[in-house]
Amino acid sequence: MILNSVMRLLISEDTQREFYPFCQQSLATYVRSCEVLYGEQFLSYNVHSLLHLVVDVELLGGLEIFSAFGFENNMPEFRKNIRKPDLKLQQYFKRLHERNEQALALFPDDIIIHPSQSHAQGSLTENIFAENCHQFYKLEVGKLIFSITLRDSCCFHQNSEICLIKNIVEVEETIFLIVQKFRTMTAVYDVGLTLDSVDICHCCDLSVAVEAVNLDQVKNKGYRLPVWSATEGEEERILENEWICISLLTLYHP
């Protein structure tokens, strides 16, 4: 839980520097706990390097900016383009030039927002009328997908509220999410952080009324996991209308 919380803080570009001392102290606690729980043999170079991670983030920015996480699944592609053991990066760069016959281009910063799968029977608020808007089942924001389906309907508001999407509407070229908000949010675990610091919450008591949220007010997409009963002596079952909601770590700026 300590490692999960700290990694979420260090990966996010929105984390304030005031959290860095907490991250440093927590990682030191984690490394000490590893020795107690798993023995000295567990203290590998990778575990020890966690003690220097906060300094790297302070100098370079969020972990995803300078980590190699994104390349792990591409190793077979890299290997196919390497012909000898030295100068690997230069080899791969040359292979890309040969393939594309042009210099590498940066990806554009503009995020494409594309609503799709129109319909006319969704939930609307009192001040949004069916004849004055276009309704959609699905909304693509860059690489993220929001929709009214169970899988893609969870989102985090900038004010730390957590919502479920009931409809997607466009009014005068402005996108709104028609949502229900959870009225009760509690911590899933406690490592000394507030709920909105790592965006992992136990949510219940979903509002009946719907509200319209401007897409600009959406902090990020989330996903939700069912909550299981844990009563001793009883068979485990999924609790209705209770969820563990977690914000994606994918950078999102509409």
* Least reliable range by pLDDT among 13-17, 37-41, 53-57, 175-179: 13-17
Sign of the alpha-carbon dihedral angle for 182, 219, 59, 3: positive
Q: Does 199 or 138 have the greater pLDDT score?
A: 138
Looking at the domain assignment, is residue 108 inside a domain? no
Same-domain pairing of 168 and 122: yes
Residue 164 scores a pLDDT above 60? yes
Based on the fold, state whether residues 85 and 156 are members of the same structural domain.
no
pLDDT of residue 100: 66
**What is the spatial distance between Cα 247 and Cα 161, in angstroms, rounded to a whole number?**
11
Let me know whether 33 and 127 are in one domain: no
Cα angle 71, 73, 77; round to 5: 85
Task: Answer whether residue 229 shows pLDDT above 90.
Answer: no
Range of the domain at 160: 113-247
- 198 is a domain residue: yes
Contact 211/179 with Cβ under 8 angstroms?
Answer: yes
What are phi and psi for residue 33, nearest 5 degrees? -65, -35
Whether residues 85 and 180 share a domain: the answer is no
DSSP 8: H
Residue 191 is assigned to a structural domain of this protein: yes
Q: Which residues contact 148 (CB under 8 A, 6 or more apart)?
A: 122, 137, 165, 166, 167, 168
Please say whether the beta carbons of 181 and 162 come within 8 A: yes
- Per-residue confidence band for 234, with pLDDT thresholds at 50, 70 and 90: confident
Spell out the alpha helix ranges (H) of the chain.
Answer: 2-11, 20-38, 45-49, 53-60, 63-66, 75-80, 88-100, 195-198
Domain endpoint, select from 100, 130, 159: 100
**Helices 53-60 & 20-38, crossing angle to 10 degrees?**
150
Angstrom distance (rounded) from CA 21 to CA 112: 37
Domain count, the chain: 2
Alpha carbon distance 19, 170 (integer Å): 38
- Write out pLDDT tens, residues 183-223: 999 988 888 877 667 888 999 999 999 999 999 999 889 99
pLDDT greater than 90 at residue 178? yes
> Is residue 32 one of the residues assigned to a domain?
yes
Do 199 and 138 reside in the same domain of the chain? Answer: yes
Nearest to 222 by CA among 191, 194, 190, 185: 185
CA separation, residue 145 to residues 16, 80, 108, 142 (Å): 27, 32, 19, 8
pTM for the full model? 0.73
Q: What is the DSSP code string of 154-211?
A: EEEETTS-EEEEEEEEEETTEEEEEEEEEEEEEESS-SS--HHHHTEEEEEEE-SS-E
| Nearby residues of 226 by Cβ (< 8 Å), 6 or more positions away | 238, 239, 242, 243, 244
Q: Are residue 13 and residue 39 in the same domain, yes or no?
A: yes
pLDDT band for 46, please (50, 70, 90 cuts): confident
- Which pLDDT score, from 0 to 100, does residue 132 have? 87
Domain boundary residue, one of 52, 73, 100 = 100
96 and 8 in one domain?
yes
Is 107 inside a domain boundary?
no
Q: List the structure tokens of 197.
A: 């610091």
Q: Are residues 151 and 241 in the same domain?
A: yes
**For the segment 92-135, what is each residue's pLDDT rounded down to a tens digit?**
888 877 776 543 344 445 678 899 999 998 999 988 888 889 99
Are residues 231 and 121 part of one domain? yes
